[in-house]
Amino acid sequence: MDSWVRVLVLVACMFPALVECRVRHYRFNVVTKNSTKLCSSKSILTVNGKFPGPTIYAREDDTVLVRVVNHVKHNVSVHWHGIRQLRTGWSDGPAYITQCPIQPGQNFVYNFTITGQRGTLLWHAHINWLRSTIHGALIILPKLGVPYPFPTPHKEKVIVLGEWWKSDTEAVINEALNSGLAPNVSDAHTINGHPGPLANCSSQDGFKLPVESGKTYLLRIINAALNEELFFKIAGHNLTIVEVDAAYVKPFQIDTIVIAPGQTTNALVTADKKPGKYLVAASPFMDSPVAVDNLTVTATLHYTGTLSNAPTTLTAPPPPNATQVANNFITSLRSLNSKKYPAKVPLTVDHSLFFTVGLGITPCQTCTAAANGSRVVASINNVTFVMPTFALLQAHYFNINGVFTTDFPGNPPQAFNYSGTPPANLQTTNGTKLYRLAYNSTVQLVLQDTGIIAPENHPVHLHGFNFFVVGRGIGNYNPKKDPKNFNIVDPVERNTVGVPSGGWTAIRFQADNPGVWFLHCHLEVHTTWGLKMAFLVDNGKGINESLIPPPNDLPKC
Ligand SMILES: *[C@@H]1O[C@H](CO)[C@@H](O)[C@H](O)[C@H]1NC(C)=O
Ligand SMILES: *[C@@H]1O[C@H](CO)[C@@H](O)[C@H](O)[C@H]1NC(C)=O
Ligand SMILES: *[C@@H]1O[C@H](CO)[C@@H](O)[C@H](O)[C@H]1NC(C)=O
Ligand SMILES: *[C@@H]1O[C@H](CO)[C@@H](O)[C@H](O)[C@H]1NC(C)=O
Ligand SMILES: *[C@@H]1O[C@H](CO)[C@@H](O)[C@H](O)[C@H]1NC(C)=O
Ligand SMILES: *[C@@H]1O[C@H](CO)[C@@H](O)[C@H](O)[C@H]1NC(C)=O
Ligand SMILES: *[C@@H]1O[C@H](CO)[C@@H](O)[C@H](O)[C@H]1NC(C)=O
Ligand SMILES: *[C@@H]1O[C@H](CO)[C@@H](O)[C@H](O)[C@H]1NC(C)=O
Ligand SMILES: *[C@@H]1O[C@H](CO)[C@@H](O)[C@H](O)[C@H]1NC(C)=O
Ligand SMILES: *[C@@H]1O[C@H](CO)[C@@H](O)[C@H](O)[C@H]1NC(C)=O
Ligand SMILES: *[C@@H]1O[C@H](CO)[C@@H](O)[C@H](O)[C@H]1NC(C)=O
Ligand SMILES: *[C@@H]1O[C@H](CO)[C@@H](O)[C@H](O)[C@H]1NC(C)=O
Ligand SMILES: [Cu+2]
């Protein structure tokens, strides 16, 4: 083929609505860019100079090839959040878990096939806090000719919610690690890269969403913020929820959604109101006494033909502690569970695990005086995860000893009143501990928030699997009473779930994907502090149940 024909084909294969291609090629150049968000200038890390980064489009069953080229001074890796990566853990992306980072000047081709998934996901950097600006949408359309299980929308719009700091985010987290205290909260939120008029920058108008009267739109909403769950609503318009985390749900109408970092929500909105301008608002949800950037970011829904000076119909975002508003949304979510899209909930449990998630305190001689000789950490079952300096998946595949151990505890080492008064000793242990699972075993995992320092909602993300959220409650999980109320018929299927503040949530999954799979809080500050662990899933029988060999260009440590 002529090289220009080849380029044309490669470019066409980025738009699956136009042509049928089984392989989608993308090139991600990680570069710096000057940005003037919030009126002041700073240099940010981007993919291809875009913030948010480029949208990846593919169809179910396609293979996606993304060459990530590192042109910046930082180590980089990219995670395809929610992609199952069946047997292709090498392409999952979390630095030092499945791969060594792509170092300055190096590049790596992520190569994965999308199996049994369709909907909206996101991709983001998975090293330090680089995902604050290195992120974007990943859209999986149904197979060619397969309709959505809901009315076909007139148009689709990607809505990426983000969080913005005036300072460099690496400086923000490094300052916190040195002091032992919590990092500075963000200065604003963004919708598709715009902080909106409330940030008081005359040059920064909010994002505009044009709509035509009578038409229905599919909003693919993504929370790419680092540390904050967000409410999202549109003045005067209900949202019909049809999918979360690339799994269809039973459609329902609601006026406000809540979305945690790493989660996605597909919502239909019909422009059936009086033509005009309507405010779109995203604001933080934090049902605990923890400081948040409680600024609201706004955009506008514009009916075509509306005069630019027409007034905007306003809406008040819920206050940060509007737990009931969040619960209305969360408890409405059910898997579609149709004949075509059944909810395959594991009905038996091989591993029944109970993990406490929360904060802790550890001595620190070098921290600032304000930290009183200690620093804040986070843990699962009292283990603060220590990041290795060599990738766990490689260590597993090549049988390299000394990188990790497989003694992660399946239960808390010490029972206490998790949602009540914490124990006097808030110290944790540390280590690079994994929990080992046999191929295709079934897992029930109860995640219990601890009130240590403060009860808090932790959006916990599992790599390599979707799970079913079979139960949820406030207070301490009761292993005798609570399972009786589990929904094992049509629970919502996701990859990231909020553990309620001072409460618990129960998930089930089938360990049908060999590899090393990260489980962590998707509030980046908690991940940094150690609220993370990994599952090691053994190979099954034969090559179809085994991890593929590592690619030749896999980065080295
Ligand atoms: C970015 O900003 C810096 C300092 O403000 C300036 O020196 C540099 O030339 C700018 N780069 C680009 C590509 O505009
Ligand atoms: C992608 O991975 C598959 C195996 O999963 C392999 O057959 C194929 O050659 C790889 N493609 C590239 C471009 O590396
Ligand atoms: C964090 O906030 C404090 C207080 O406003 C400020 O002095 C400090 O410079 C900030 N740190 C960074 C990294 O921006
Ligand atoms: C923007 O200006 C308004 C009115 O002066 C003020 O209430 C608000 O706090 C300002 N917002 C920011 C982010 O500075
Ligand atoms: C939005 O949906 C709710 C719940 O279904 C319903 O009570 C309400 O009337 C709807 N509002 C609008 C503006 O359609
Ligand atoms: C919200 O912001 C206001 C003013 O900016 C501040 O006084 C208040 O403490 C903040 N609330 C939370 C929950 O952070
Ligand atoms: C939410 O916070 C406000 C202001 O801090 C307080 O008045 C209100 O009681 C709180 N609501 C709930 C449900 O905790
Ligand atoms: C340090 O100790 C003082 C005095 O007991 C207390 O007020 C403060 O909250 C402590 N700081 C931290 C970060 O624990
Ligand atoms: C956590 O581990 C530390 C260090 O071994 C211990 O002192 C502490 O009591 C443990 N806490 C809990 C809640 O298990
Ligand atoms: C792990 O804990 C030990 C003992 O408390 C401590 O000396 C070490 O610094 C900790 N390591 C990390 C990486 O936090
Ligand atoms: C995995 O286990 C489930 C039952 O839990 C079974 O239906 C399925 O066939 C098994 N898959 C494989 C590949 O063994
Ligand atoms: C980048 O990654 C390599 C390999 O793990 C490591 O040796 C190096 O220290 C890292 N560089 C930075 C700046 O963290
Ligand atoms: Cu958390």
- Tell me the ligand closest to 86's alpha carbon: 2
Evaluate: CB of 294 within 6 angstroms of ligand 6: yes
Ligand 8 site-directed mutation target among 372, 374, 375, most atoms within 8 Å of CB: 372
pLDDT (tens digit per residue) in 156-174: 999 999 999 999 999 999 9
Cα distance between residue 417 and residue 425, in whole Å: 13
pLDDT (tens digit per residue) in 453-498: 989 999 999 999 999 999 999 999 999 999 999 999 999 999 999 9
- Tell me the ligand closest to 200's alpha carbon: 4
Q: How far is the CA of 134 from the centre of ligand 6 (A)?
A: 28
Evaluate: CB of 69 within 6 angstroms of ligand 3: no
Instruction: Please report the atom of ligand 10 found closest to the CA of residue 430.
Output: 1
pLDDT at 524 (0 to 100)? 97
Q: How far is the CA of 29 from the centre of ligand 1 (A)?
A: 19
pLDDT at 40 (0 to 100)? 83
- Tell me the ligand closest to 91's alpha carbon: 2
Q: Is 337 exposed, middle or buried (0-12, 13-18, 19+ CB in 10 A)?
A: middle
pLDDT (tens digit per residue) in 382-432: 999 999 999 999 999 999 999 999 999 999 999 999 999 999 999 999 999
pLDDT at 69 (0 to 100)? 98
- Tell me the ligand closest to 319's alpha carbon: 7
- Three-state SS string over 84-102 comes to CCCCCHHHCCCECCCECCE
The residue whose C-alpha atom lies closest to atom 5 belonging to ligand 4 is: 200
Cα distance between residue 198 and residue 209, in whole Å: 17
| Residues whose CB falls within 8 Å of the CB of residue 230, separated by 6 or more in sequence, listed in order | 161, 189, 223, 258, 259, 282, 283, 284, 285
Question: Above 60 in pLDDT, residue 278?
Answer: yes
Question: Above 70 in pLDDT, residue 203?
Answer: no
The residue whose C-alpha atom lies closest to atom 13 belonging to ligand 4 is: 199
pLDDT > 90 fraction of the chain, expressed in percent and rounded: 87
pLDDT band at 288 (very low <50, low <70, confident <90, very high): confident
Between 386 and 198, residue with greater pLDDT: 386
Q: Residue 96 to residues 132, 382, 388: CA-CA distances in angstroms?
A: 19, 22, 6
pLDDT (tens digit per residue) in 49-76: 999 999 999 999 999 999 999 999 999 9
Which of the listed ranges 4-8, 197-201, 212-216, 292-296 does the model predict with the highest average pLDDT? 212-216
Evaluate: CB of 342 within 6 angstroms of ligand 7: no
Question: Above 80 in pLDDT, residue 545?
Answer: yes
Evaluate: CB of 77 within 6 angstroms of ligand 12: no
- Three-state SS string over 353-396 comes to EEEEEEEEEEECCCCCHHHCCEEEEEEECCEEECCCCCCHHHHH
Question: Above 80 in pLDDT, residue 1?
Answer: no
Average pLDDT, the chain: 95
The two three-digit tokens of residue 208, written as one number: 């505009």
pLDDT at 291 (0 to 100)? 74
The residue whose C-alpha atom lies closest to atom 7 belonging to ligand 6 is: 294
Give start and end residues of each alpha helix (H) in 67-182. Answer: 169-179
Instruction: Spell out the domains of the chain, with CATH numbers in brackets.
Output: 3-141 (2.60.40.420), 155-330 (2.60.40.420), 351-545 (2.60.40.420)
Q: What is the pTM of this model?
A: 0.95
- Tell me the ligand closest to 38's alpha carbon: 4
Q: How far is the CA of 377 from the centre of ligand 8 (A)?
A: 16
Evaluate: CB of 292 within 6 angstroms of ligand 6: yes
Q: How far is the CA of 408 from the centre of ligand 9 (A)?
A: 14
pLDDT at 11 (0 to 100)? 78
pLDDT (tens digit per residue) in 18-36: 677 899 999 999 999 999 8
Instruction: Please report the atom of ligand 5 found closest to the CA of residue 252.
Output: 5
Contact between 14 and 26 under an 8 Å Cβ cutoff? The reply is yes
Q: How far is the CA of 184 from the centre of ligand 3 (A)?
A: 6
The residue whose C-alpha atom lies closest to atom 7 belonging to ligand 1 is: 34
